[in-house]
Amino acid sequence: MNDEQLLRYSRHILLDEIGIEGQQRLLQSRALIIGAGGLGSPAALYLASAGVGHISLVDDDTVELTNLQRQIAHTQARIGRPKVESAAEAMAAINPDPQLRTLQMRADAGLLDEWVGSADVVLDCCDNFATRQAVNRACVRHGVPLVSGAATGWHGQISVYDSRSGHAPCYACLFPPDSRFEEAHCALMGVLAPLVGIIGSMQAAEALKVLLGAGEPLSGRLLMLDGKRMEWSEILVQKDPGCSVCQRSA
């Protein structure tokens, strides 16, 4: 690190669990963020500000006026532009250090198979069940830790699924791919603006812990937030011996 970086990351370096060695590790790490909306905005901004050296953003959408209530990486002036470009511009304005890659495409199985393998951690910040399952399958296949968050209405949830551990569950252990439920979208249900900021920021924190090997990531634990009561609850998640994803890949 140069003198400017030592100053920029000084508050990280002061932490015993990070120090110069840990910050150097972050500068050499690779994160893949799926979704540059409500969750992806704070996650991307915090990973960039923290000095994660290589960050890839995947999202096929463009910035709309309705996004600005909660998607803090975007601005009025960037309405109509691809979200990945808008978010990358915001990230670079905070910290020019990270190398940013953007892809304006839907995260399908082919794309994920190509991009997940080169990441050290994946953040699922998307808003639909099918993409979440595709991201999980790719992470299990390549043995890459997955930080998954979701938020709608007044409720949010977050967990870490680390397939590097033979005992840890994957996303499909908790939410089987063949589950039938009515998917809630914020376009129809609404969402409290700061709620996505809370969950997205926590995703960034969990991703940093994974990259640093510090603390205790949320593997095997699902945290759920009731925003009306500002009350957290926790569910312990076990590996499903009949899981169609992680057991098939074992």
**Strand ranges (DSSP E) for the chain?**
30-34, 54-58, 99-103, 121-124, 146-152, 155-161, 221-226, 231-236
Rounded distance between C-alpha atoms, residue 91 and residue 232, angstroms: 30
Q: Which of 125, 126, 186, 246 is catalytic?
A: 186
Spatial separation of the C-alpha atoms in residues 71 and 47, rounded to whole Å: 16
Tokens 């809370």 correspond to what residue? Answer: 198
* Residue 180 token pair: 């039938």
Distance CA 177, CA 197 (A): 27
Per the listing, tokens 């899981």 go with 243
Mapped onto helix, strand or coil, the DSSP state of residue 62 is strand
Establish whether 186 is a catalytic residue: yes
Give me the helices (H) in 32-161, please.
40-50, 83-94, 109-115, 129-142
Helix (H) or strand (E) holding 171: helix 171-174
As annotated, the active-site residues are 186
